[in-house]
Chain A
Amino acid sequence: MKLKKSKILCLLLAGVMALALTGCISEDESGTTTTGTGGAPETTEPVVSSEPVEIDDDELAAILEEEGLEIVDGKYRFKDTRTISVEIFDRGLDAGRVEPLDSYWTKWIQAQVLADHNIQVEFQTVPRWTEAQEINNLLAARSAPDIIYTYNYTAILTYAEDMNGIIDLAPFVDELGFLAPNLWGLLGEDLIYFNKHPSNGTIWAIEGIRFTDNRINTFVREDWLAKLSLEPPTTLEEFEAMLYEFQANAELLLGDQADKMIPFTIGVDIGWRADHLFASYFPNDMTDKEMFVRGFDDRYFLYPGFKEGVRKLNEWYNAGLIWQDFPLYEMQDPTEDNNSKAGFVGSMIHNWNYPYRDNEQGLQGMMQVSVGPEAAFIPVAAFKNEADLYKKIIPFHVDRKIAFPMTNDEPVASLIYLDFISRQDVRSYLGSGEEGITFELLENGTVRTLDPTQEAVRDNVFEAAFTDNTGKTQWTYAEMIMNSPNNIDYLLTFNSEGIYYRDDETARASVANSFPATTPEVIHRAVELTSLDMRIKRDPNVGTIEAESGMGTTLPEKRNAVLANSVTTSPENFDSVFDSGMQDYLNSGGQAIIDERTAKWEEFFGDLENFD
């Protein structure tokens, strides 16, 4: 008996040891772009010079010799061919689209980079929806491509600190920064040094640039306003009155579906979906220090005045002005969008162009089919703050984070590739494509995207006129289909958020052409209103904030729960529910983050309250 017991004990111990050795695989949360920490404030003691190093000709020659480069036609070219691999998303698109490795754009880039810089580029596909886990696996297995990118800075920190998977970019963008003038020109020191550690100067990832500051807009139903002879609201009182009018006139507006009337719709991500309302309750002159110290949450949950905004929502919810079922449906559930498409929704706060996306399948497109051609959403500015400004807080225009894994043997070649992909002509070509096939030039000088799967385009078989290593090549339309919208998957450092042709002005003017569901005037108004009276939230880089590690999903989920509970509870209980929820948030790590941020700010900036 004793022998048997000891055997069982041995087994148990072996099992426990096996468990302990399996290790913890941390799940990366995907999706939320915490702006992390970054920015290049005017510090009094720069550790690394804030511009690429100025060098003289002798040094230049020495560096070129060391790296195996020569200057040909004003471009840096390697003497012998180097090979690098670059990550690219595989979006799993449907019929008519080609796979990223077979597409014309891949082959074009490969040919160009080989010709200009003697670099052979290989692309490695990563599925779009499981990219976080996949990059994790690839880095662990040391088979990641030489350039990786991700939307999420906490993932970068995990790769850097926990996995030792990526290298420090500072030596390359600083001392060798002169090799990448286009990259510097596009991003500037703001974005290249966005993630630079203030003490030791390490840069784990550089930030790509987002072309616009467009974020969120408030939308109301134009046809309902016309039916009720209302003007678009410009103040909170008018907006509220409008919601009450919608509710009172439900029969008029919706007939026998009056019980489905939703004056204001909202989703579970309340902070995003009522952003303009909340922003109108923040003090007008918040200091940069306060915005940073309380700015961990990307929905500004901890800012002063937030509670009053939620109180207003609570009031509207209890008056029946807000969609009563909103806490029941998760974020990507189509029910909320279906309500808009069926025409039941009177107003909402959402992404700046959300109703106009997806053409006939989007909100406005389907609404015009199910309700009538005059049904439309228009953007309005309705929430003024205490200084009568439509203040909104917009994060700095960072985009994807680009990093080099540890297995990168050719960091200089990778840097030059990033420079290539940031060149104006390359961005223009990849961002728009071939005239007549992927875009068309309109009379007013703007451009509009064409879909090459359309009949009219498909009938023109396109012949590429450039020669690659094997001679003249012919391409058909099928390979010219862009495997990502306006090729953003190739343009790592630049997110044009639409078609990009020739230069910035043409791009900004062409935005309105991409939304056939509505008129260009509406789009221009939407662009204007989404950044009206905006304030950019600039977070300086203060190194790693210990209290924030691991808080990537827990605190936002708590915040969403607190907000949902606060909005749906009765008015008498509002204070207690919100306060206890906020207390719980602070106790679960929120307060620790605030304290550490304050300490770091005072360590690096002392008494400074505002950047200039």
Chain B
Amino acid sequence: MPEGNGGEMIKTTGAKVGDWIIAAICFFLILICLLPVLNILSRSLSDPLALVRNEVLLLPQTYDRDTAFNYIYNEDGSKMLVTAVIENTFDNRTQSVVSETFIVKEVTEGGVTETVYVPLNEEFDPLLFGKVEVSLDTGIEVDSVEVGDTTFINDFDEETLTGTIIVEDVEVRQVSSDNASKLGVDFTAYTEILKDSRYTWSLAWTAMLTVGCAIFSVLMTAICAYPLTYDNLKGRKFFNTMIILTMYFSAGTIPTYLLLKNLNLINHPLVLVLPFCLSVFNMIIMRSYFYGIPLSLRESAELDGAGPVRTMISIYLPLSMPVIATLLLFYAVGRWNGYSDAMMFMNQNRFFYPIQYLLFNMMNNSMSPDVMLSDPDTMLGRGESMRMAMVMFAMVPIICVYPFLQRYFIAGVTLGAVKE
């Protein structure tokens, strides 16, 4: 229960309607924010054909590819696929012919209207069937085809053919929905990624890097923040000013590159840790928190004979667990998501790529059409489901860890705000 001034408890009553409304709004907002994640997840689990048709929104889809071919359209717009085994007798020859699909045409010859079944498959011998006219008419009923039906085939060239087609077997498959899609899950993208050791190693390396980097950064931040809390530090104002100056101004890419090159850090794994381990903003947060710890504690420690270092280790750090947890999280998320320093400084050492930079390389293939002419390796054939799976791959670890640490996030943002 929150305490008001003077230590009185604020009495709470039962949750009012307004509270429920606010909670519902928050809930829906969270869902809306999560929609992109769900979209990516479903895209990564979908069939490439479904993605090409841009039909995946929130639920993964696969396609039954057999039904993706020629259809016959009925009056009500539904599609039917008709197959028939046709035995043809032609000039006393018997020939078994299988037609994948055939269409029904009304042909008027000499005043007599006949219903004619014409195979759509053009592999049929033209001598037998003539030139096949391919057209799809709507509104033709195919239910009338039954086993045992016979009909005439008319010739479409000048020659007249006679023959009968005996319909032996009819299979009518009604395709239920427009898209003939089945809700399904297609794990090929994930299996492909997991088979490649580079992704799994990069993920493990990035995890190790994140943990190590976060701990190291917090240590550096604490060591930097702590002396600045001493009033009698010589040159305190100067140090404060200089440190804050670096928060606003930086030298730029090329000078930083030259500096790191002279330090032999280029392409070394430590370049992901050392140069940007200390964030001044976070240091200020920590320093403000240290200000909040009562001076009396420090004085009592000094009375007991503790030096500054001992004071920090025994008194300040244990009391600063909230801010340490917060900064750990800040640094960890920053390191996990960061790829620009790898892009600048660790281009040639593929073994130590953080996962985000690896994905950046995979996904980034923007080429203008001129260059695409000369350089045929477009890599666009990688497929959208694979790219979405990569994005999920990089996102999931943080999402898993985040709920456990999020209370520190919220608390930490306002940590330095109030000074006692």
Contact = CB atoms under 8 A, between A and B. Distances in A.
Contact of B370 (A31, A335, A341, A400): A31
Nearest to B241: A11
Contacts of A133: 343-344
A25 interface: yes
B89 interface: no
Given A33-B370, A141-B257, A495-B374, A127 B361 contact: yes
A370 B52 contact: yes
Interface stretch (A103-111, A354-362, A378-386): A354-362
B181 to A, nearest CB: 12
A344 to B, nearest CB: 9
A357 B378 contact: yes
Given A25-B254, A140-B258, A488-B375, A338 B52 contact: yes
Nearest to B63: A370
Contacts of A399: 374
Given A215-B373, A342-B52, A370 B366 contact: no
A25 B252 contact: yes
A331 B258 CA distance: 34
Interface string B193-235: 0011110000000000000000000000000000000000000
A130 interface: yes
Nearest to B54: A338
Nearest to A335: B54
B255 interface: yes
B365 interface: yes
Which residue of A25, A92, A372 has the most chain B CB atoms within 10 A of its CB atom?
Answer: A92
Interface string B42-57: 0000001101111000
A15 B248 contact: yes
Interface string A308-330: 00000000000000000000000
Interface stretch (A16-24, A534-542, A595-603): A16-24
Contacts of A331: 366, 368
Given A92-B361, A372-B69, A399-B374, A22 B257 contact: no
Interface in B351-388: 358, 361-362, 364-384
Interface in B51-102: 51-54, 65, 68-71, 73, 77, 79
A369 B65 contact: yes
A497 B134 CA distance: 39
B347 interface: yes
A332 B381 contact: no
B420 interface: no
B366 A90 contact: no
B178 interface: yes
Interface in A212-226: 214-215, 226
A417 interface: no
A345 to B, nearest CB: 12
Contact of B369 (A251, A272, A371): A272
Contacts of B54: 335, 338, 342
Contacts of A351: 369, 372-373
A223 to B, nearest CB: 9
A485 B376 contact: yes
A125 B380 contact: no
Contact of B53 (A226, A338, A357): A338
B350 A90 contact: yes
A583 interface: no
B249 interface: yes
Interface of A: 11, 14-15, 18-19, 22-23, 25, 31-33, 90-92, 94-95, 99, 124-127, 129-130, 133-134, 136-137, 140-141, 143, 151, 210, 214-215, 226-227, 251-252, 255-256, 269, 272, 298, 331-332, 334-335, 337-338, 341-342, 350-352, 357-359, 361-362, 366, 369-372, 399-400, 484-485, 488, 495, 497-498
19 contacts: A11-B241, A23-B255, A31-B366, A33-B374, A92-B358, A94-B382, A140-B254, A215-B373, A272-B369, A332-B366, A334-B384, A337-B380, A351-B369, A369-B49, A370-B49, A370-B68, A484-B377, A497-B374, A497-B376
